[in-house]
Amino acid sequence: MTDNTARLDHVVLWVRDPLASAGFYEKAVGLEPLGVTEFAAGTTSFPSVRLNDETIFDLAPLTMAGKMNMLPGAAESAGHPVNHVCVSLPGPDFEALRTRLEEHGVPMSDISYDAYGARGTARRSFYFRDPDGNVFEARHYD
């Protein structure tokens, strides 16, 4: 990729069980798992899941918190709540995600309409939590 405009590269999510979380994101959310075999074998620190060609979610175990020393106080970020992460999807993928979450018994909010976001006014959106309590919003603009 040669386009150097600003983009979201990755989000690190603190999780209790990275393998279970990878399974949730693969099966209930429909994201591609990365590095699961390597994490299970102990050759990498955490697995990830791919949101799109440019963005991944790293599934960092809470046990890594003490190693997060890139800034003073960074280790205390383990478990610190971010309000939510919003994922924008095409309309059919939005519907497919909601169906998968229902099939997996994941509680969801009602659908809301005409919420403002990074790309203008989204037609519909809803919220759900992962097994570690991280809140996600799914929306579509088309």
Residues of the chain with pLDDT under 70: 1-4, 68-71, 74-81
Q: How many residues does the chain have?
A: 142
Confidence (pTM): 0.84
Write the pLDDT tens digit of every residue in 61-87: 988 877 766 667 766 666 666 778 999
Q: How far is CA 13 from CA 3, 26, 124, 141, 142, in A?
A: 27, 15, 25, 25, 28
